Structure 1
Amino acid sequence: MNFNEFELHEDVLNAVDSMNYQAATPIQEQAIPIILEGGDLLACAQTGTGKTAAYLIPILDKVAHESDGKTAALILVPTRELAVQIDQQIQGLGYFVGATSIAVYGGNKGPEWDQQKKALSQGADIIIATPGRLIAHLQLGYVKFDGLKHLVLDEADRMLDMGFLGDIMKIMSFLPSPKQTLMFSATMPSKIGDLAKRILHDPKEVRLAVSRPAERIDQQFYMAGDSQKLPLLSHLMTDVADTSMVLFTSRKNTVEPIVRALRKLGLKAHGISSDSDQTDRETVLRSFKNREFPVLVATDVLSRGIDIDNLSHVVNYDVPRDPEDYVHRIGRTARAASKGTAITFINEADQKYVLKIERLFEKEIEKRPIPAELGLGASPIFNAKRNSGSGGNSGGRGRNDRREKTGKTVQEGSGPAKKRPFRRKKPNPNPST
């Protein structure tokens, strides 16, 4: 379907053309008419399917031609990187329609706070915000959302995984009714359905099947304990030229150790996590995109917010908890006619997540052992039977959930204290007392 077939204003069509958008993607084809009609929407689509443009284009079409100088649309996102990415996309599309926008997120200096305060109090057409920073502004009493007509929750599943449900509901209490509410999620666990029932009014649903990885991607799964992963990676990267690799890890406190270990192996590497200063993160990402160093180490929470494609390698230092995340990550390789390599390490704790990937692919994945000649010891044993009942549905989380947020891993076997053994009371030597 061509964008000319939607009932869009001419300046919006010019903006779409300037961004080199060709035919609408499936999510755009189904979502844009619903949003233009003004109804609520619950949409399930992978990151990378064009979902951002699916809601930005119709919202810009409305905002640009119904502007009253007040904030018309609020977009809530889980990470700073995604907020910046969406803001840049609005700037590209908004050039022709004259729409204003600002990204509101934490980790920046005083001038940025003042700029956010001005936009929130005086009005910008579209606000893109992370929940925590927006609440900080809302609590000070100057935020004006009385003209808000559109609310978007982007990557709603990730926001819930990061513990933002309470923040989302608190923000909702500051927003006027009625308004159009749009929820976009890469996965559809039961908690997304529960949230939709609470905040959406008679929504229409759009669900797209998760796409399979390109055949050109060489997917390699290795059974490896944590101490074996980096030496094995060093061996796998031997004689690899012109590397552009992102390594994803689940724990933010492992980013710097991994970076130091990679540097000792002769690989130039830098890392980013939620603990990194925002300016430093932007500098590192820009340098990596410019091919100033070959290896970027990042945490799970940042994985969907990193706008980087055309990689030679993607390394999953830990198995992604959601199979859709796995598909999206490795899809950053093998773009156009190129080939790519995806390396995933499987330790004993992460085996249940491999079963989810296998269910998605509807086939068993080959799990390679560590080559004996490396002298790294025996590989962990994959036990499908032991893990077959673990992990819940495809959108579920395991006991190591939200490790990136806390920086701590729950130890196997932790939980409620064991009951003390029953001890029989000693008989009273003097029954009469």
Structure 2
Amino acid sequence: MNFNEFELHEDVLSAVDSMNYQQATPIQEQAIPYILSGKDLLACAQTGTGKTAAYLIPILDKVAHESNVHTGALILVPTRELAVQIDQQIQGLGYFVGATSIAVYGGNKGPEWDQQKKALTQGADIIIATPGRLIAHLQLGYVSFQSIKHLVLDEADRMLDMGFLSDILKIMSFLPAKRQTLMFSATMPSKIGELAKRILHNPEEIRLAVSRPADRIDQQFYLAKDEQKLPLLIHLLSQVESTSMVLFTSRKSTVEPIVRALKKLGKGAHGISSDSEQSEREIVLRDFKNRQFPILVATDVLSRGIDIDNLSHVVNYDVPRDPEDYVHRIGRTARAESKGIAITFINEHDQKYVQKIERLFETEVEKRAITQDLGLGEAPAFEPRRSRPSNDRKRKPSGSNQGSRPVSQAAKPGDEKSSRRPKRRKPKKEEKNNPSQA
């Protein structure tokens, strides 16, 4: 579908043409008419499908037709990187429209704070903000959002995962009840549906199926204990001459050790995490995009805020908990008919997440066990039913010593119930008399 068919303002069409947008993507084709008509929307589409433009284009069309003295649209996002990315996209699309915008993010007060305060006080056509930073401004009383007509929650699932629900609801208390609310999410867990019921009014829904990774991506899964991952990674990269690689880890404590190990190998590497200063993050991301060094190590929390494609390698140091996140990440490789390699390490506790990936792909993936051949010790067996998440251990009967037992000896739910009713049944006696139920 061509963008001319949406009957957009001529300034917006000029902006779309300047950005070299040819045809609307499926999410844009479905979302833009709903947003232009003023309806609330719940949309599920993976990263890389053009969903940011799907809501920016119709919002900019509203800006082109209206004259807002104060802020007309508020976009909430989970990370600083995504806020900056969207702000840059608005600058590109909004040039012909004359739209003003500002990204509100950061942890400490400084020059950025004063600039953000001025923009929030005077108003801008579009504000892009992380919830925590925006609340800090709102609590000081100089921000008025009574003219807000559009609220966008981008990467809504990630914001909920990061614990921003109470912040989102608090921000909404500052907004007018009569407004258009748009929720965009890469996944659709039950908590997204619950939030949608609370904040959306008769919404339209769009759910695009997650596309499968390109066949050009060589997906490699390796069984490895946590202590085996780093030497295994070094082995896998030792014979790779040139790379453009992003490595994702779920723990910020592992970022620096990985960077140091890669540098010892002679690989140029830098890392970013939530502990990094914003200015440092921006420099590292800029230099990586400009091919100043080949390997970027980043934590999961930044995975969707990193706008980097055309990678030769993506490494999942830890298996993503959501299979859609796995698809998003490895999809950064094998662009423009090139080939790519996706490496994923599987420890004992992440095996259940690999099963989710297999269910999404409707096929079993090959798991390689090569650590013993490399002198690193035996790799963990792939036994997802035996793997037990740490949260499960917390639900065991208090006072028991089952944390060190094999899974087959764990008490059943009935034992937990009986431990709460000692007068009716003694847990120790039941375990003794019913070993087959252990």
Do Structure 1 and Structure 2 share a fold, with TM-score over 0.5? yes
Q: Which has the higher contact order (CA 8 A, sep 6+)?
A: 1
Are 1:360 and 2:330 counterparts? Answer: no
Q: CA deviation at 1:109?
A: 5.2
AA of the residue aligned to 2:25: T
SS of equivalent to 1:219: strand
Are 1:92 and 2:92 counterparts? Answer: yes
CA deviation profile, 1:201-250 (whole Å, cap 9, x unmatched): 00000000000000000000000011111111111112212211111000
CA deviation profile, 1:54-105 (whole Å, cap 9, x unmatched): 0000000001221221100000000000000000000000000000000000
The equivalent of 2:243 in structure 1 is 243
Contact in 1 for aligned 2:76/2:131 (Cα 8 Å): yes
The equivalent of 1:413 in structure 2 is 393
AA of the residue aligned to 2:115: Q
Contact in 2 for aligned 1:152/1:181 (Cα 8 Å): yes
SS of equivalent to 1:24: coil
Give me the CA root mean square deviation.
1.7
Contact in 1 for aligned 2:9/2:64 (Cα 8 Å): no
CA deviation profile, 1:337-392 (whole Å, cap 9, x unmatched): 110000000000100100100000000010000154310111100014436xx8xx
The equivalent of 2:336 in structure 1 is 336
Deviates most, 110-119 or 25-34: 110-119
User: Which residues in structure 2 correspond to 1:384-399 (within 5 Å)?
Assistant: 384-386=384-386
Q: CA deviation at 1:264?
A: 2.1
Contact in 1 for aligned 2:228/2:371 (Cα 8 Å): no
AA of the residue aligned to 1:418: S
User: Which residues in structure 2 correspond to 1:228-377 (within 5 Å)?
Assistant: 228-377=228-377
Are 1:171 and 2:171 counterparts? Answer: yes
CA distance in 2, matches of 1:51, 1:157: 14
Contact in 1 for aligned 2:100/2:124 (Cα 8 Å): yes
Contact in 2 for aligned 1:78/1:158 (Cα 8 Å): yes
Contact in 2 for aligned 1:80/1:106 (Cα 8 Å): yes
Deviates most, 412-421 or 264-273: 412-421
Deviates most, 144-153 or 236-245: 236-245
Contact in 2 for aligned 1:48/1:328 (Cα 8 Å): yes
The equivalent of 1:427 in structure 2 is none
Q: CA deviation at 1:257?
A: 1.6
Are 1:77 and 2:77 counterparts? Answer: yes
Q: CA deviation at 1:174?
A: 0.5
Q: CA deviation at 1:177?
A: 1.8
| Aligned residue pair count | 404
Contact in 1 for aligned 2:308/2:332 (Cα 8 Å): yes
CA distance in 2, matches of 1:339, 1:109: 44
Q: CA deviation at 1:27?
A: 0.2
CA distance in 2, matches of 1:259, 1:330: 20
SS of equivalent to 1:181: strand
CA deviation profile, 1:307-349 (whole Å, cap 9, x unmatched): 1111110000000011011000001100001100000000001
Q: CA deviation at 1:26?
A: 0.2
CA distance in 2, matches of 1:326, 1:177: 37
Give the 3 Å change call, closer, same or farther, for CA 137–109 of structure 1 in structure 2: closer
The equivalent of 1:160 in structure 2 is 160
CA deviation profile, 1:150-172 (whole Å, cap 9, x unmatched): 00000000000000000000001
SS of equivalent to 2:31: helix
CA distance in 2, matches of 1:347, 1:78: 28
SS of equivalent to 1:373: coil
Q: CA deviation at 1:415?
A: 5.4
The equivalent of 2:208 in structure 1 is 208
Are 1:14 and 2:14 counterparts? Answer: yes
The equivalent of 1:404 in structure 2 is none
AA of the residue aligned to 2:314: V
AA of the residue aligned to 1:273: S
CA distance in 1, matches of 2:130, 2:371: 45
The equivalent of 1:118 in structure 2 is 118
Contact in 2 for aligned 1:108/1:278 (Cα 8 Å): no
CA distance in 2, matches of 1:8, 1:52: 17
CA distance in 1, matches of 2:109, 2:290: 26
CA distance in 1, matches of 2:80, 2:244: 23
The equivalent of 2:187 in structure 1 is 187
CA distance in 1, matches of 2:375, 2:110: 53
Contact in 2 for aligned 1:230/1:262 (Cα 8 Å): no
Contact in 2 for aligned 1:2/1:22 (Cα 8 Å): yes
